[in-house]
Amino acid sequence: MSANIVYAIIVTSLATFLSRFLGALTSEGIKETSKVFKWFNCLAYATLAALIARTIIFPAGVLVDASYYSRSIVVFLSLFVFFISKKNFVYPTIFSAISMAIINNYI
């Protein structure tokens, strides 16, 4: 392994674990009802929505072969599964992978 790869792994690991450690230290003083917490929560959801939209509109990798129509169908079906499963993230994630494979290969 090259030294640059080892340095990159060390630096990224330190950055990841340092932020988690500082988060664990400061979590006692943060209230879930505070405006700062709500702002970070909104920021996280906005980032997730932007990534999902980017994946649908500008796909990369294997999704390039799938049509916009099939990607849109999978998103709407997965949203339906999300809401009927009482906002559980596991079921729509698994459902989206299976339904994308079925729709892309057989329909």
- Give residue-wise pLDDT tens across range 13-24: 998 999 889 888
Q: Is the same domain home to 39 and 73?
A: yes
Could you tell me if 26 and 41 lie in one domain?
Answer: no
pLDDT tens digits, one per residue of 43-72:
999 999 899 889 888 988 888 888 888 998
Alpha carbon distance 99, 76 (integer Å): 11
Res 62: pLDDT: 83
Query: pTM of the entire structure?
Result: 0.59
Which ranges in the chain belong to alpha helices (H)?
Answer: 3-26, 35-57, 68-84, 90-106
44 and 85 assigned to the same domain: yes
Residues 41 and 10 in one domain: no
Q: Give the count of domains, the chain.
A: 2
Range of the domain at 66: 31-106
Do both 22 and 71 map to the same domain?
Answer: no
Task: Tell me: do 65 and 37 sit in the same domain.
Answer: yes
